[in-house]
C-alpha cells in the first residue's frame, strides 16, 4: 500500500525536476526511510526489473513490466534448457532441433518486444525511476564518505 514504511511512490520526482537536478549537478539528500528491496532492484535494473508473479502488489505501474520481464526470462531459460536436453538425447535430429529453437526464440522475442511496446509508459517510468534513485543513492554514498572523512 502507498505510504507504507519504505515504500515510496515510483514517481519520486517528475522527469523535469530530475533532469534539472542532474543537469545542474545539484546536491541531493535522502531523508526518511531506507529504500525497500524493490526500490533497490529498480535502481539497479530499471526497465529490466524482474518480479515473479507471486510478488506482492503495491499498486505500482512498473510491477506489470517486472512480471512481463519475469515471464520472458523464464520462457527463454526453459526453452534453452529443453533444447539442450533434446540435443543431448537425440543428436541425429540436431538440425531440426536448432531450426525449431531459432523459430520459437524469434516468436518469444517478438512477443516480448510487442509487450514492451504496449507497456511503453511503464518502461519510461522504470528508466526515470532508475535515474532518480541512482542519483539519490550516489548522493547518500558521497555524503556518508564525506561524513566518514570529516570524523576521522
pLDDT, tens digit (0-9, with 9 covering 90-100), for 110-135: 999 999 999 998 898 888 888 888 88
CA 45, CA 43: separation in Å to the nearest integer?
A: 6
Comparing 21-25, 53-57, 101-105, which segment has the lowest mean pLDDT? 21-25
Question: Of 133, 123, 118, which Cα lies nearest the Cα of 21?
Answer: 133
Strand, helix or coil for residue 119 = coil
Lowest mean pLDDT among 31-35, 70-74, 81-85, 114-118: 31-35
The string of pLDDT tens digits covering residues 34-47 is 777 888 888 889 89
When pLDDT is averaged across residues 77-104 and rounded to a whole number, the result is: 92
Question: For cell 526497465, what's the residue?
Answer: 47
CA distance 13 to 93: 55
User: Is pLDDT above 60 for 152?
Assistant: no
Is the pLDDT at 3 greater than 60? The verdict is no
Amino acid at each position: 500500500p502507498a505510504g507504507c514504511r519504505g515504500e515510496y511512490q515510483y514517481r519520486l520526482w517528475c522527469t523535469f525536476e530530475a533532469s534539472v537536478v542532474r543537469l545542474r549537478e545539484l546536491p541531493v539528500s535522502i531523508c526518511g526511510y531506507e529504500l525497500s528491496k524493490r526500490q533497490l532492484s529498480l535502481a539497479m535494473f530499471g526497465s529490466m526489473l524482474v518480479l515473479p508473479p507471486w510478488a506482492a502488489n503495491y499498486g505500482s505501474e512498473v510491477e506489470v513490466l517486472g512480471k512481463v520481464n519475469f515471464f520472458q526470462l523464464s520462457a527463454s531459460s526453459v526453452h534453452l534448457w529443453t533444447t539442450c536436453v533434446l540435443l543431448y538425447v537425440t543428436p541425429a535430429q540436431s538440425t531440426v532441433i536448432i531450426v525449431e529453437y531459432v523459430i520459437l526464440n524469434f516468436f518469444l522475442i517478438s512477443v516480448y518486444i510487442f509487450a514492451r511496446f504496449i507497456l511503453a509508459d511503464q518502461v519510461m517510468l522504470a528508466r526515470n525511476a532508475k535515474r532518480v534513485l541512482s542519483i539519490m543513492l550516489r548522493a547518500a554514498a558521497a555524503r556518508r564518505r564525506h561524513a566518514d572523512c570529516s570524523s576521522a
